[in-house]
Amino acid sequence: MMEQPEHPQRKQIQIGAFLKWLYWRYVRVWFSLLSPGTVNRLTKLAARLQLALAGKRSQIMLEELELSSLTKERDTQSLLLNAFQNQLNSWIKQCYLRKCNGKTIDKYIPVEGLAHLDGALRQGRGAILLNPHFGPYMMIMPALGYRGYKVNQLAIQAESPRVARAGFTLLANKARYEAVEKTMPIKFINAGTETFDNFGLRNMAIRDVLSALRKNEIVLYPPTGRGGRQWQSALFLGRTANFNPVPYKLALKEGVPLLPVFLLDISESGNSESVARLVIEPPIEISAVDTPEGLLIKYIMILTAYVQRYPEHFAFFQFDMRLKSQWDDHPFFARTN
């Protein structure tokens, strides 16, 4: 029987997995010896090459940016280039995790707004930090954990690399897990844990979330995440988007402060020492007449302002959601056809 030639797309995936394994297993160590400024220059060059070869990928990303009215009065090529570099920086700069600790964290990830977080924790009810898929969002974990805060990250897959398939995909996922998740100075709440609750979560450990909050700890919640079974539709960037209402329900039921947070890639700032910048916004105001839908709208107003100011930080998430909308039963942006 004649062997069938390997599918080109499958071969590309294997090559990509091999390069990822090579990076997480070996190359990241050498990258961490370079200054963040030098890495910025390298990722700028890589982003130019990536954009030149992107083809349909850049076309889809541009379509999503246009649908969200994020290209107005902007040079679209520069926007796409910055989006590609932002995405590269988001994972390549995780090489500096091996150099982060309590003594160096101020240098690598400066923070604005820590007073807002400290004030919220003084209430004794913990705090939910709304950390969207925006820029180098993973960097919030070392930024707070190495500053001595008790941090819990709600994640769909955090405790093992078993989501890998086989071959270099398995090895790449394992190498990344060893280099990133396993080194984080925080506790993961595995969102794959089966629980039964009244908050609209599907396979999420709501009891662990409540336990952490009642111990006055921080819970990092991804407000643009796709885990859950109940969804609230709301207008976002001129489109109908589906958000999980859980954090807003918890805020009303438990009296937990909600603080929007954003990680900014500072590759253009000229700072050659820092990897990213964490911005902690003041808690969302909650009144006696508020509803979960109302709190969601308040959050969306804050999120919109950041996305409109830094669209390159959100472009790859929009691209990813566009691809997943083909099979997702609750796509981030509601289907228009």
What average pLDDT does the segment 125-136 reach?
Answer: 97
Q: What is the DSSP string of 103-138?
A: TTHHHHS-EE-HHHHHHHHTTSS-EEEE--S-SSGG
- Residue 38: per-residue pLDDT: 92
Q: Please report, rounded to a whole number, the percentage of residues in the chain having pLDDT higher than 90.
A: 73
Digit-coded pLDDT (tens) for 62-77: 999 999 999 999 999 9
Digit-coded pLDDT (tens) for 162-186: 444 567 788 888 899 999 999 999 9
Phi-psi region of 49 (alpha: psi -120 to 50; beta: other; left: phi over 0): alpha
Q: Please report, rounded to a whole number, the percentage of residues in the chain having pLDDT higher than 70.
A: 87
- Residue 159: per-residue pLDDT: 39
- Residue 2: per-residue pLDDT: 46
Among 2, 332, 18, smallest CA distance to 10 is for 18
Q: For the whole model, what pTM was predicted?
A: 0.90
